[in-house]
Chains A and B, each alone.
Chain A
Amino acid sequence: MSRKPILTLAVPLLTAALLAACGGTTQGDDEDDGGPGTDATANPDAEIQTGLSFAMLPKSVNNPYFEASSTGAEAVATELEGTYEYTGPSDASASSQVSYIDTLSQQATDVILLSANDPNALCSSLDQARDAETVVVTFDSDVDPGCRDLFVSQVDSDEVGLALLEMTAEQIGGAGEVAILSATANATNQNAWIEVIEAELDSNPDYADIELVDVVYGDDEDEKSFSETQGLLQANPDLSAIISPTTVGIAAAARYLSGSEYQGEVALTGLGTPNQMREYIEDGTVTEFALWDPTALGELAAWTGAAAASGIVTGAEGETFTAGELGEYTVGADGVVTLGPPTRFNADNIDEFDF
Chain B
Amino acid sequence: MTALGERPAATARTGSTALDLVLRFRALGLVLALAALVAATTAVNARFLSAQSLRDLLFAAAITVLLATGMTVVVLTRGIDLSVGSVLGLSAYLTGSLLSSVGVPVPLAILTGLAVGAACGTVNGAIVHFGRVPPLVATLGTLYVFRGVVYFVAGGSRINASDLPGAFLDFGSGTVLGVPYLFALAVAVLAVVAVFLSRYRSGRDLYALGSNPEAARLSGIPAGRRLMGAYVTCGALAGLGGVLYAARFGTVDASAGYGLELDIVAAVVVGGVAIFGGSGTVVGAGLGALLLAVINNALPVLSVSQFWQQAIVGALILAAIALDRLVGARTARALRRKAAADAD
Direct touch of chains A and B (CB < 8 A): yes
Interface residues of A (CB under 8 A from B): 61-64, 66-67, 90, 216-217, 221-223, 226-228, 230-232, 234-235, 237, 251-252, 255, 259-261, 275-276, 278-279
- Residues of B near A259 (CB, < 8 A) are 173
- Residues of B near A222 (CB, < 8 A) are 249, 251, 253, 256
Residue of B nearest to A248 (CB): B251
- Residues of B near A226 (CB, < 8 A) are 249
Q: How far is the CB of A90 from chain B (nearest CB, A)?
A: 6
Contact with A along B229-267 (1 / 0, CB 8 A): 000000000000000000001110111100000000000
B136-162 at interface with A (beta carbon < 8 Å): 151, 154-158, 160-162
Which of B52, B161, B300, B306 counts the most chain A CB atoms within 10 A?
Answer: B300
Q: How far is the CB of A67 from chain B (nearest CB, A)?
A: 4
Q: Does B212 contact A (CB under 8 A)?
A: no
A237→B47 contact, CB < 8 A: yes
- Residues of A near B296 (CB, < 8 A) are 227
Q: Does B48 contact A (CB under 8 A)?
A: yes
Q: Does B60 contact A (CB under 8 A)?
A: yes
- Residues of A near B14 (CB, < 8 A) are none
Which of B50, B299, B301 counts the most chain A CB atoms within 10 A?
Answer: B301
B306→A216 contact, CB < 8 A: yes
- Residues of A near B255 (CB, < 8 A) are 62, 221
* Extra inter-chain contacts (6) besides given A221-B255, A222-B256, A251-B160, CB under 8 Å: A62-B255, A234-B48, A235-B301, A252-B249, A255-B249, A255-B251
Q: How far is the CB of B155 from chain A (nearest CB, A)?
A: 7
B161→A62 contact, CB < 8 A: no
- Residues of A near B52 (CB, < 8 A) are 260-261
Bound together, the chains give a CA A228 to CA B307 distance in angstroms of 13
Residue of A nearest to B47 (CB): A234
A276→B301 contact, CB < 8 A: no
Q: Does B198 contact A (CB under 8 A)?
A: no
A64→B253 contact, CB < 8 A: yes
A234→B300 contact, CB < 8 A: yes
B171-188 at interface with A (beta carbon < 8 Å): 173
Bound together, the chains give a CA A272 to CA B157 distance in angstroms of 16
B251→A227 contact, CB < 8 A: no
Bound together, the chains give a CA A257 to CA B173 distance in angstroms of 11
Residue of A nearest to B150 (CB): A62
Bound together, the chains give a CA A276 to CA B157 distance in angstroms of 12
Bound together, the chains give a CA A216 to CA B162 distance in angstroms of 26
- Residues of A near B47 (CB, < 8 A) are 234, 237
Q: How far is the CB of B80 from chain A (nearest CB, A)?
A: 23
Could you list some 10 contacts between A and B, CB below 8 A? Answer: A67-B157, A222-B253, A231-B299, A232-B300, A234-B48, A234-B297, A234-B300, A234-B301, A251-B251, A276-B160
A62→B154 contact, CB < 8 A: yes
Bound together, the chains give a CA A66 to CA B155 distance in angstroms of 12
Q: How far is the CB of B140 from chain A (nearest CB, A)?
A: 16
Top 8 A-B pairs, shortest CB-CB distance: A231-B300, A67-B156, A259-B173, A62-B254, A279-B162, A64-B158, A230-B56, A234-B301
- Residues of B near A232 (CB, < 8 A) are 300
B160→A275 contact, CB < 8 A: yes
A255→B250 contact, CB < 8 A: yes
Bound together, the chains give a CA A250 to CA B52 distance in angstroms of 20
- Which residue from A62, A252, A255 sits with its C-beta under 8 Å from B151? A62
Bound together, the chains give a CA A279 to CA B165 distance in angstroms of 12
Number of A-B contacts (CB under 8 A): 83
- Which residue from B157, B173, B249, B303 sits with its C-beta under 8 Å from A64? B157
B161→A255 contact, CB < 8 A: yes
Residue of A nearest to B57 (CB): A230
- Which residue from A90, A216, A235 sits with its C-beta under 8 Å from B45? A235
- Residues of B near A276 (CB, < 8 A) are 160-162, 251
Residue of B nearest to A282 (CB): B162
Residue of A nearest to B254 (CB): A62
- Residues of A near B56 (CB, < 8 A) are 227, 230, 234
Given contacts A278-B162, A279-B162, contact A62 B253 (CB under 8 A): yes
- Residues of A near B48 (CB, < 8 A) are 234
A62→B251 contact, CB < 8 A: no
Residue of B nearest to A251 (CB): B251
Bound together, the chains give a CA A232 to CA B47 distance in angstroms of 12
- Residues of A near B158 (CB, < 8 A) are 64
A66→B156 contact, CB < 8 A: yes
Q: How far is the CB of A238 from chain B (nearest CB, A)?
A: 11
- Which residue from A63, A228, A237, A275 sits with its C-beta under 8 Å from B162? A275
Q: How far is the CB of B16 from chain A (nearest CB, A)?
A: 41
Bound together, the chains give a CA A279 to CA B155 distance in angstroms of 24
A279→B301 contact, CB < 8 A: no
- Residues of B near A221 (CB, < 8 A) are 255
Residue of B nearest to A90 (CB): B151
B306→A217 contact, CB < 8 A: yes
- Residues of A near B160 (CB, < 8 A) are 251, 275-276, 279
- Residues of B near A275 (CB, < 8 A) are 160, 162
Bound together, the chains give a CA A230 to CA B59 distance in angstroms of 11
- Residues of B near A66 (CB, < 8 A) are 156
- Residues of B near A216 (CB, < 8 A) are 300, 306
Residue of A nearest to B170 (CB): A259
Bound together, the chains give a CA A62 to CA B157 distance in angstroms of 7
Bound together, the chains give a CA A13 to CA B45 distance in angstroms of 49
Bound together, the chains give a CA A237 to CA B49 distance in angstroms of 13
Bound together, the chains give a CA A234 to CA B151 distance in angstroms of 35
A235→B303 contact, CB < 8 A: yes
Bound together, the chains give a CA A237 to CA B333 distance in angstroms of 52
Bound together, the chains give a CA A100 to CA B245 distance in angstroms of 32
- Residues of A near B161 (CB, < 8 A) are 251, 255, 276, 279
- Residues of A near B301 (CB, < 8 A) are 231, 234-235
B156→A63 contact, CB < 8 A: yes
B306→A227 contact, CB < 8 A: no
A231→B297 contact, CB < 8 A: yes
B300→A62 contact, CB < 8 A: no
Q: How far is the CB of B66 from chain A (nearest CB, A)?
A: 15
- Residues of A near B256 (CB, < 8 A) are 222
Given contacts A62-B156, A216-B306, A217-B306, contact A234 B53 (CB under 8 A): yes
